[in-house]
Structure 1
Amino acid sequence: MCGICGFTGKLPDSKDVLTRMMDRIKHRGPDSAGQYITEKAAWGFRRLSIIDLDHGSQPMFNEDNSIVIVFNGEIYNYQTLREALIAKGHVFRNNSDTEVLVHGYEEYGTDLPKHCRGMFAFMIYDTKKDIAFGARDYFGVKPFYYSVIDGNLVFGSEIKSILEYPGYEKQVNTEALEEYLTFQYSVLPETFFKGIFKLAPAHSILFKDGKVTIERYWEPDFDIDENVDFDTLVDKIDAQMNESVQAHMISDVEVGSLLSSGIDSSYIATVSKADKTFTVGFDYDKFNEISYAKDLSEKIGTKNFSKLISEEEYWSVLPEIQYYMDEPLADASCVALYFVDKTAAEHVKVVLSGEGADEFFGGYNIYHEPISLQGYQKLPAGLRRLIGRLAETLLPEGVRGRSFLMRGALPVEKRFIGNAKRFSVKERKRILKNATPAKAPWKLTRPYYDKVRHLDDTTKMQYIDMNFWLIGDILLKGDKMSMRHSLECRVPFLDKEVYALAKTIPTKYKLAGGTTKYALRKAAERHIPEATAMKKKLGFPVPITLWLREDKYYNQVREAFTGPSAQLFFNTGELVKMLDAHKKGKLDNSKKIWVVYMFLMWYDVYFVREEVSYE
């Protein structure tokens, strides 16, 4: 696990620029650093040593130094690939997975990513062809950002590296802001920084003669087997998860496991037989999972390390979190990840985590919605639309049943954009001071719905979450918070072999008897207590709703909502009205408030303060 950055072309001070870019991501790789600088390219690398501790330094080359690579991630099938490449005549200098990519590129060219199993973001410079070629892993576990500045390609594991490149002028992308108000994360290919882009998962990038070419090398699909025997399916899930966990344990350093009270992390912690597990909770009974984690740890014979987060600690790290996130993210559980990763990093360099299980195996509670709406949706579509409009107009916000009538009036393609939906188009237009060219959210998801139009609504929702929520929220915070603490976080559920099985599971085995992830739970039940395997999904509960009704935090947020930064982007009177309604208990506006507040905090860190560093 490392940090990569670099640029094509040559600057008068290439070494100094590259060094500054690398210094901004030192947290991703504090163990060592390396540079490759020529007239044509400057590649930088920060290393967190995990595999082949003595010989895995980068940049790394082929035999004649004509191919150079910087690579962030882990290739879990590198040993198999290495054997195949040796059989084809390739000569290796070390035992790292990085060198497998070098020779893999020599052998397979731009088809290299199709042969890899793992989490990765890499950039190769081919001196003979004078091209730069890179790729991002199948599901987007590792980040990859890029920009073209003065005709040169500039790239990095984090945006903050690119900000160090001369010629780039920081400017807020207001279109990204408007979409963020609905999704709670940055959803567009262009980031919150104008001119800086995200490479999408399962995509490659080729830079030649000043032009960028982006191609998709793999795409998730579904091949549902309605006739599969349930017990056989559970056998396959358990066998595949055991295999994936063991593949993700490959390391020359100790591997621990994050652990909450839920099935996903519990399953992985148990199967991995990790010696150490890590848990956090808040100093509120209903927001504290530590006792669950400690009980399970005792049962499976691992040592649990826990951290109780105070509200003062929570609020104090928010600016730092927005700095490391690069773009604003309004997921309140980021802080929990920050502290659990910090706790883990005090003991290990690598942890396993349970991200991806909900998207692959049908774990979110909202996936039941198509079933609960079946009766209502038997009414004619026109009648339902009328009922929905009447409910929106006549029933006050927060009234029980209002959302059901409004959502049920719409097809899934119009009502579901992912696990978070904060401001409606009407609401975001009302609070924003200036118009933007932002699209209605369903127009962003529509091309993805078009690809799965033949599937049932629950599977469609899974597909949307895989392409939006998982990438923009879950994996973003997972990478940025772990790497903030120089900790490698591996995700055994997000494995292409696991997905090859998950894509065949029929909805009747994902949702059964009011239970989500039913088949996965039955597989996990072979290893963990039934009560844990069948525990209802909670997410990571954070007492934001309560805090925002306390004078201390209400006043803190109100100051931001009426300050000069807020006045640049928002109609501040509307923000205060929303905040006051929450304070008085009229509505629970906590999630909407948090979306705006996190943007303002991010803006303060990157555009108001002159110098920010948490290294």
Structure 2
Amino acid sequence: MYNKIPLNIKSINAILTLRYNPFQTPIIPKLKHDDFLGTNYEPSIDYIENHIISTIRKTISEKNKKITVALSGGVDSTLLAAILKKNFPEADIEALSIKFAESVDETPVASEIAEHLNIKHRIVDLENYLIELPKAISIIKAPHWDLHWYHVVKNMSKNSKYLLSGDGGDELFGGYVFRYKKYCSLVNSKSSPAKKIKAYLSCHERDWVPDQEALFSKKSRFSWDVIYDKLMPYFDNSLDLLNQVFLADFNGKLLFNWLPIYSKLYEHFNVKPVTPLLSEDLIRYCTHAPIETKYDQSTNIGKLLLRKLLSKYKVDKFVTKEKLGFNVSTTNLWKFFGKKLCQNYLKDARITAAGYTNQSWLDKWFRKNGDMDVRYVNKFMGLLAFEIWYRLFVTKDMNANTKLNL
């Protein structure tokens, strides 16, 4: 049984709208617009490479060279695996990949990379992504459902103390190209901060739904203005369009979702993270780099600096333009597990009885025939996580070891 956690309704509203809680204290400092003021220098890939190597060397104990690489087959994880193999030949390296059922299978590419680098590769098959959601939520103590990292850390901790990952690669080096193009098509340099915020949110449309206000009851006191106010400093400044997006992205899910969640998982499983892309020096260096050295707007290709390093290490042939990173097909997850689980837990939800969510909204979408829009799938998953969190920490009538089976 767990200690009761106070329910901060502003935090809950934010998680159900942004998928992160900007009202918490971050574990690394927030960045300000000054940190993204561009310079005229040409970033050095040698400088970036040396800092990655230095951070890894400082983090790994001399007595324990066994280390796991979270390998998705994307730019960040492929590069870090290659750097680790070449510069730490004495290390006992294992690459770990997760194969999610009914989702894009990234493991064949990861296997090719591991074979090319001559490192061990372990693939974990996961049929029901949600099966241990109560356990994961009991560890992170927050109502999140997108917890693929729980499965990564849990499985790697059985064989290794150190986990090497590319956290921060997308935010610092320009990995969210699917959003950059859309954002620039919606606004220009003369657009008001308010319009930019709404355009930015429209590029994160999977985090909220068109009738977002309707899913809350009056007790939740949901207001879009509260959300807009938290984002305003990132868009009411002198930065150019894309650097404003970089600033908002760094101070978004990275700072207020993934890093706090990951830190709790590392602590629980006694794992030491190795995150060289988030070293203080590299953050400072990369945020000031000219935007065109990180993202090519004409080709819509990002992470240009890291791709140059991929070429240097002769592993660029394995990495495509598509973004990879332990992706789960939420629509298939809904079809095979999610819908029935949500019906089981949300038909008579504690969060609805307590006055936080609107039963008529739930009933309306439960009655929908045919395929569910992915935005609503994500929303139902978020509400399922809220309900489980509420049962664990508020009503305390759920066991963390409960398995979400059908």
- Supply the RMSD in Å over aligned alpha carbons: 3.1
State the SS of the aligned residue for 2:335: coil
Counterparts in 2 of 1:185 and 1:525: CA distance versus 1, 3 Å: same
Give the CA deviation at 1:473. Answer: 1.6
Counterparts in 2 of 1:553 and 1:222: CA distance versus 1, 3 Å: closer
Question: C-alpha distance in 2, partners of 1:363/1:444?
Answer: 23
Answering whether residue 177 of structure 2 is matched by residue 369 of structure 1, we say no
Give ranges in structure 1 of 5+ residues lacking alignment. 1-23, 25-159, 164-168, 190-197, 204-215, 383-408
Pairing 1:144-223 to 2, within 5 Å after superposition: 163=3, 170-189=5-24, 198=25, 201-202=28-29, 221-223=35-37
Kindly provide the CA deviation profile for residues 236-284 of structure 1, in whole angstroms up to 9, marking residues without a partner as x: 3333333333333345323332211111011111111252221111233
Match of 1:242 in 2: 53
Pairing 1:87-106 to 2, within 5 Å after superposition: none
Question: C-alpha distance in 1, partners of 2:34/2:61?
Answer: 26
Counterparts in 2 of 1:368 and 1:240: CA distance versus 1, 3 Å: farther
Kindly provide the CA deviation profile for residues 138-189 of structure 1, in whole angstroms up to 9, marking residues without a partner as x: xxxxxxxxxxxxxxxxxxxxxx6xx4xxxxx644222222222211232313
Paired AA for residue 160 in structure 2? V
Match of 1:271 in 2: 83
Pairing 1:305-320 to 2, within 5 Å after superposition: 305-311=122-128, 314-320=129-135
Give the CA deviation at 1:516. Answer: 1.2
Answering whether residue 387 of structure 2 is matched by residue 600 of structure 1, we say yes
Within the candidate set 326, 333, 346, 2:158 is matched to 346
Match of 2:239 in 1: 455
Give the CA deviation at 1:223. Answer: 4.0
Match of 1:355 in 2: 167
Residues 280 and 309, structure 1, Cα contact 8 Å, conserved in 2: yes
Paired AA for residue 277 in structure 1? A
Paired AA for residue 175 in structure 1? K
Pairing 1:380-395 to 2, within 5 Å after superposition: none
Question: C-alpha distance in 2, partners of 1:586/1:282?
Answer: 20
Give the CA deviation at 1:219. Answer: 9.2
Paired AA for residue 308 in structure 1? D
Answering whether residue 362 of structure 2 is matched by residue 575 of structure 1, we say yes
Counterparts in 2 of 1:321 and 1:612: CA distance versus 1, 3 Å: same
Residues 107 and 123, structure 2, Cα contact 8 Å, conserved in 1: yes
Question: C-alpha distance in 2, partners of 1:381/1:221?
Answer: 22
Match of 1:398 in 2: none
- Higher relative contact order by CA 8 Å / sep ≥ 6: 1 or 2? 2
Residues 74 and 319, structure 2, Cα contact 8 Å, conserved in 1: yes
Give the CA deviation at 1:321. Answer: 1.0
Match of 2:404 in 1: none
Question: C-alpha distance in 1, partners of 2:344/2:153?
Answer: 31
- Calculate the TM-score normalised by the size of structure 1: 0.57
Paired AA for residue 253 in structure 2? W
Counterparts in 2 of 1:498 and 1:419: CA distance versus 1, 3 Å: farther
Question: C-alpha distance in 1, partners of 2:388/2:109?
Answer: 33
Paired AA for residue 248 in structure 1? T
Paired AA for residue 232 in structure 2? R
Residues 327 and 602, structure 1, Cα contact 8 Å, conserved in 2: yes
- Aligned residues: percent identity? 20
Match of 1:498 in 2: 282
Paired AA for residue 36 in structure 2? F
Counterparts in 2 of 1:485 and 1:413: CA distance versus 1, 3 Å: same
Answering whether residue 108 of structure 2 is matched by residue 291 of structure 1, we say yes
Paired AA for residue 131 in structure 2? S
Question: C-alpha distance in 2, partners of 1:557/1:187?
Answer: 26
Residues 60 and 162, structure 2, Cα contact 8 Å, conserved in 1: no
- Higher helix proportion (structure 1 or 2): 2
Give the CA deviation at 1:545. Answer: 0.8
- Higher strand proportion (structure 1 or 2): 1
Paired AA for residue 238 in structure 1? E
Give the CA deviation at 1:534. Answer: 4.2
Give the CA deviation at 1:412. Answer: 2.0
Question: C-alpha distance in 2, partners of 1:324/1:418?
Answer: 31
Question: C-alpha distance in 1, partners of 2:381/2:400?
Answer: 24
Within the candidate set 328, 339, 364, 2:143 is matched to 328
Residues 561 and 576, structure 1, Cα contact 8 Å, conserved in 2: no
Residues 354 and 491, structure 1, Cα contact 8 Å, conserved in 2: yes
Give the CA deviation at 1:592. Answer: 1.4
State the SS of the aligned residue for 2:36: coil
Give the CA deviation at 1:410. Answer: 6.5
Pairing 1:515-530 to 2, within 5 Å after superposition: 515-530=301-316
Question: C-alpha distance in 1, partners of 2:249/2:338?
Answer: 32
Give ranges in structure 2 of 5+ residues lacking alignment. 86-90, 402-406
Paired AA for residue 143 in structure 2? P
Within the candidate set 345, 348, 359, 1:560 is matched to 345
Answering whether residue 278 of structure 2 is matched by residue 464 of structure 1, we say no
Question: C-alpha distance in 1, partners of 2:61/2:181?
Answer: 37
Counterparts in 2 of 1:580 and 1:486: CA distance versus 1, 3 Å: farther
Counterparts in 2 of 1:515 and 1:580: CA distance versus 1, 3 Å: farther
Counterparts in 2 of 1:266 and 1:321: CA distance versus 1, 3 Å: same
Question: C-alpha distance in 2, partners of 1:419/1:353?
Answer: 26
Counterparts in 2 of 1:413 and 1:267: CA distance versus 1, 3 Å: same
Give the CA deviation at 1:309. Answer: 0.8
Paired AA for residue 461 in structure 1? V
Question: C-alpha distance in 2, partners of 1:528/1:594?
Answer: 40
Give the CA deviation at 1:328. Answer: 0.8
Counterparts in 2 of 1:171 and 1:475: CA distance versus 1, 3 Å: closer
Counterparts in 2 of 1:549 and 1:277: CA distance versus 1, 3 Å: closer
State the SS of the aligned residue for 2:44: helix
Paired AA for residue 368 in structure 1? K
Residues 183 and 203, structure 2, Cα contact 8 Å, conserved in 1: no
Counterparts in 2 of 1:326 and 1:433: CA distance versus 1, 3 Å: same
Counterparts in 2 of 1:435 and 1:608: CA distance versus 1, 3 Å: closer
Residues 282 and 309, structure 1, Cα contact 8 Å, conserved in 2: yes
Give the CA deviation at 1:417. Answer: 5.2
Give the CA deviation at 1:357. Answer: 0.8
Counterparts in 2 of 1:245 and 1:411: CA distance versus 1, 3 Å: farther
Counterparts in 2 of 1:580 and 1:488: CA distance versus 1, 3 Å: farther
Question: C-alpha distance in 2, partners of 1:362/1:544?
Answer: 24
Residues 297 and 304, structure 1, Cα contact 8 Å, conserved in 2: yes
Question: C-alpha distance in 2, partners of 1:261/1:427?
Answer: 36
Match of 1:429 in 2: 213
Match of 1:51 in 2: none
Within the candidate set 327, 331, 335, 1:541 is matched to 327
Answering whether residue 328 of structure 2 is matched by residue 531 of structure 1, we say no
- Calculate the TM-score normalised by the size of structure 2: 0.84
Question: C-alpha distance in 2, partners of 1:549/1:580?
Answer: 15
